[in-house]
Chain A
Amino acid sequence: MTEYFLECVTAYRIASDIYLELGNTGTSVQRRWFANVAANSMPSDLDKVLVQNVVPNRTLNDFLKLRHPEPTLTAKLTLKNENLQIRGSWKKVRTKKGANLPQRMGFASFVWNGEDVPCPQTQQSFIVILQAICTLLVASIKMLRIQG
């Protein structure tokens, strides 16, 4: 049984290292966390120390502290494998007349190609968005207003 845990935890550790090399910090942390949980949850009659040495608990926090993406790693990220790494980039979209939509989360959204769009050639025209809930931040603002 110790061998079973050793194989599992080693596989998680290797996967975690590979994902970290690829810049996929999120999955790297998840695999590492699974490895440590598995090692720490072993039955007491097995060689727990042997397995824990593969994923020392003292280094777990180094993974848990990572952000996604991790700013200190982003600048160093290099292309290791074209098929495995993220392609494309983000661009922030701003409405021309400024943000007039209250902040929220947990909302419903959808894209609809309306037939009454002025430019039928460009089909992506209509987004009707949003219902719903505002954030705790907004809730706290409302509370402050009531108190004020």
Chain B
Amino acid sequence: MNIEAAYLRDLWRLDLDKLEAWEQLPSYHVPFCGLLMAVHANKAYLFAGRPQVDFFDLKTRQWGSIKTEFKRDDGCAGAGAWPYPDNHLTDYTMQMVDGRMYVFGGSHAKASLGTNLFVVLDLATRKWTRLSGTVLPTPDYSCPNPRKWPASWVSGGRIYIIYGVADRQAAQMHNQPHAASDAFGYSDFWSWGLTDKRWFREIISGNTPCPRAEMACTYVCTSLFLHWPAFLRVPVQRTTS
């Protein structure tokens, strides 16, 4: 039995004021795992790594989709090549800011380790722009390194990214570069300036949460809450922090 046969595609709603019962909404058309949704203008957008971006209309309660294209890196007219192999991306982090959907990291068929590609979709023009990083894992000290399952949030004109994991075991399993018998859990913390469009390596101080990946994360009134280290891995290769 393929594990993907156990994946779900159902959608549910809970009124947080009443806390009565979960209400089932129309299901997505295919089962999936490791994707995220972000809301803009009463639509919840679901990104699966393909040019067609699906959304759930929260007013009409119907699924729909938009077609998007990638801007060329050289600034010339016309669509650029779609970056994600096999039109597939999972385990990324995503934030919506003023109608722009930012996607960082994740894994795809040729980067089981994780990628550090950082892109943004302008929902008004339906065009993607590459901001930093590469599709295939490449070391780059000017931005967060390739990873899966980091946490992110938005505050004060910056997108913050913390922790995550370089899944070297998965790379080994798929005979890809940078493989090892264990994963590497990141302990770093970065922010992206929405205005100056640059990464900045932040410093974590105080009683810090343990590095982790695939965690729940929410940002409320200047406090960050991290929970559930479902993928907590203690790196064994070398010290970095």
B-binding residues in A (CB < 8 A): 8, 12, 19, 22, 24, 26-27, 29-30, 33-35, 37-38, 41, 68, 81, 83-86, 93-98, 100-102, 104-112, 114, 116-119, 122, 124-134, 136, 138-139, 142-143, 146
Q: Which A residues touch B37, using CB under 8 A? A: 108-110, 131
Residues of B in contact, count (CB < 8 Å): 57
Indicate which residue in B14, B21, B28, B210 contacts A30 across the interface (CB closer than 8 Å): B210
Does B20 lie within 8 Å of A95, measured CB to CB?
yes
Does A100 lie within 8 Å of B230, measured CB to CB?
no
Q: Does B187 contact A (CB under 8 A)?
A: yes
Does A125 lie within 8 Å of B22, measured CB to CB?
no
Does A29 lie within 8 Å of B234, measured CB to CB?
yes
Cα separation A117 to B58 with both chains bound (whole Å): 12
Cα separation A139 to B5 with both chains bound (whole Å): 8
Q: Which A residues touch B232, using CB under 8 A? A: 26
Cα separation A106 to B10 with both chains bound (whole Å): 13
Indicate which residue in B8, B13, B17 contacts A122 across the interface (CB closer than 8 Å): B17
Q: Does B198 contact A (CB under 8 A)?
A: no
A-binding residues in B (CB < 8 A): 1, 3, 5-22, 25, 28, 31-39, 42, 44, 46, 56, 58-59, 185, 187, 206-212, 214, 229-230, 232, 234-239, 241
Does B229 lie within 8 Å of A26, measured CB to CB?
yes
Does B46 lie within 8 Å of A126, measured CB to CB?
no
Q: Which B residues touch A109, using CB under 8 A? A: 37
